[in-house]
């Protein structure tokens, strides 16, 4: 037994050394020793009271404060129009991890509004959150969560206050977002609450004051958000906390945050390398702008190139999931595609193997997989889906594979989905002209600013070369 325990501990230590501590934003913030008052002091935030506060709520509640906070948050999202599956996404993942998805589905079906039954079911469903966020630590079976009338009425009031708050400060432009593409060895997970046009908001259901950990968490969210594919972060000018229990708004202009504080947060707390600069996403911003421009345009088909294969697929799938509901990914080999996609993401969403007969949830999209190698070139490919993504396109570019390239070009011509994306990998020194001529446009993902180390490695292998190559 001692040998087994030692092996487990050694493996844990090895994982931490290799991958970092794998903390959430909240966990990382708790471990930071801040200066007196915090990096962002509470008194620096402008405070506004929107009306009746804590004094008009029932004094006692019989449900843990964290459950109440999550229920208010998720119900507000639901009442503002998000599908229940999206609003309670984390809870449903936790229920699945606990093998309680049937229970969770029964609860979610009975969440319809601000009636008492809906609020009880929302509180119970929120109880699965800790399974996902804390590996089940402090999990309480939903059968033991029994909100009393005082609790139900308080939750209803705070949901309504949140809705009224967003009527003043909204509309919401983004909610329940993660920071895919911005995680580091220091921070491996975390999700934010709401964005409006100019403010990043965190919802905190508190009886006391906001703390230095709350304000630092918000600051970390902002700095990480600037490095995601979500361009909504580029217009953020304020950091805000809304507390529906006290019905108070706290807001800070980001121009008040010192460059020294931002440098400490970026480099020491989050762990971004110094060469990334202030925002560190110049190439990504340009690609996101161009790719979203293609999705909004009348153009039907585009070719995407770039040396950073993980970053390309991460950005493309993230943006597609924000705009579309269904798609097909055509690859050269079904056996490897799940590993390729999962490798690009901090939190893999696909099983180890996929097949062509099943539909998979990928970032909220319903996605099917198929092979373009040995395709029979059917007409109207992707007729009933929002997009078709040909990825990775690599094998057909090799010498001796001309017949497969010819078949792929015919498939691209026959694809009738709303949008068609062709994305190459490992295409250095490959002539991309045949594919470029089969599509309407070309979007290149540069690496010069965001990942100069990768560029130097590739140059050391190939020397100076023209890329992308069109002959």
Q: What is 102-114 written as a DSSP string? A: HHHHHHHHT--SS
The per-residue pLDDT for 16 is 43
The pLDDT score that the predictor gives to residue 222 is 97
Which residue pairs, CB below 8 angstroms and at least 24 apart, start in 291-294?
291/315, 291/316, 291/319, 291/443, 292/231, 292/319, 294/419, 294/441, 294/443
Q: How many CB atoms lie within 10 A of CB 262?
A: 16
The position carrying tokens 């690496």 is 447
Residue position matching structure tokens 């309407």: 440
Helices (H) and strands (E) in the chain, counts: 17, 15
Looking at residue 11, what is its pLDDT?
Answer: 46
- Provide the pLDDT for residue 21: 52
Rounded distance, CA 97 to CA 3, Å? 29
Using CA atoms, how far residue 131 sits from 95, 137, 187, 363, 463, in Å, is: 7, 7, 19, 20, 50
Q: What are the percentages of helix, strand and coil residues in the chain, rounded to 5?
A: 45, 15, 35
Beta strand 238-243 with 23-24 is unpaired
Q: What is the mean pLDDT of each run of 10 residues along the chain (471 residues)?
A: 47 46 87 95 97 96 95 97 93 91 95 98 95 77 95 98 97 91 85 96 97 98 89 93 98 96 94 62 80 92 93 90 90 90 80 91 90 76 93 90 91 93 90 94 88 82 81 71
Q: How is residue 43 written in tokens?
A: 């008194």
Record the tokens describing residue 81, joined without a space.
Answer: 């129009």
> How much is the pTM?
0.71
**What is the rounded distance in angstroms from the CA atom of residue 406 to the CA atom of residue 414?**
13
Q: What is the pLDDT, as a whole number, of residue 19?
A: 47
Q: Residues 389, 316: contact at Cβ < 8 Å?
A: yes
Cα distances (angstroms) measured from residue 146 to each of 9, 68, 151, 160, 242: 39, 12, 10, 21, 27
């Amino acid at each position: 037994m001692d040998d087994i325990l030692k092996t487990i501990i050694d493996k844990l230590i090895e994982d931490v050394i290799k991958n970092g501590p794998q903390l959430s934003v909240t966990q990382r913030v708790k471990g930071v020793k801040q200066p007196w008052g915090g990096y962002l002091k509470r008194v620096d935030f402008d405070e506004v009271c929107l009306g009746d506060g804590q004094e008009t709520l029932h004094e006692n509640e019989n449900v843990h404060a964290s459950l109440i906070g999550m229920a208010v948050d998720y119900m507000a999202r639901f009442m503002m129009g998000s599908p229940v599956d999206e609003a309670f996404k984390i809870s449903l993942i936790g229920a699945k991890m606990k093998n309680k998805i049937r229970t969770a589905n029964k609860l979610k079906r009975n969440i319809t509004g601000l009636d008492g039954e809906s609020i009880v079911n929302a509180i119970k469903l929120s109880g699965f959150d800790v399974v996902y966020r804390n590996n089940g630590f402090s999990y309480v079976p939903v059968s033991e969560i029994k909100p009393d009338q005082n609790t139900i009425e308080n939750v209803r009031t705070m949901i309504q206050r949140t809705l009224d708050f967003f009527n003043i400060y909204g509309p919401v432009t983004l909610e329940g977002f993660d920071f895919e593409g911005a995680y580091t060895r220091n921070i491996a997970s975390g999700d934010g609450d709401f964005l409006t046009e100019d403010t990043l908001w965190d919802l905190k259901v508190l009886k006391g004051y906001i703390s230095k950990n709350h304000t630092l968490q918000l600051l970390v969210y902002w700095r990480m958000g600037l490095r995601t594919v979500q361009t909504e972060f580029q217009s953020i000018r304020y950091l805000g906390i809304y507390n529906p229990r006290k019905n108070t708004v706290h807001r800070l202009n980001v121009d008040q945050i010192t460059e020294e504080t931002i440098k400490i947060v970026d480099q020491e707390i989050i762990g971004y390398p110094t060469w990334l600069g202030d925002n560190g996403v110049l190439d990504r911003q340009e690609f996101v702008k161009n790719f979203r421009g293609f999705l909004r345009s009348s153009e039907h088909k585009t070719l995407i190139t770039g040396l950073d294969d993980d970053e390309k697929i991460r950005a493309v799938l993230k943006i597609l999931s924000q705009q579309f509901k269904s798609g097909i990914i055509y690859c050269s080999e079904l056996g490897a595609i799940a590993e390729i996609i999962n490798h690009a993401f901090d939190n893999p969403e696909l099983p180890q193997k996929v097949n062509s007969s099943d539909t998979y949830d990928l970032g909220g999209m319903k996605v099917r997989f198929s092979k373009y190698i040995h395709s029979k070139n059917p007409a109207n490919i992707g007729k009933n889906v929002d997009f078709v993504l040909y990825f990775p396109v690599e094998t057909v570019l090799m010498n001796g594979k001309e017949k497969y390239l010819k078949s792929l070009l015919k498939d691209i011509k026959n694809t009738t989905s709303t949008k068609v994306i062709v994305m190459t990998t490992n295409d250095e020194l490959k002539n991309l002209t045949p594919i470029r001529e089969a599509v309407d446009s070309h979007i290149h993902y540069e690496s010069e600013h965001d990942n100069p180390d990768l560029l130097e490695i590739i140059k050391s292998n190939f020397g100076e070369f023209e890329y992308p190559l069109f002959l």
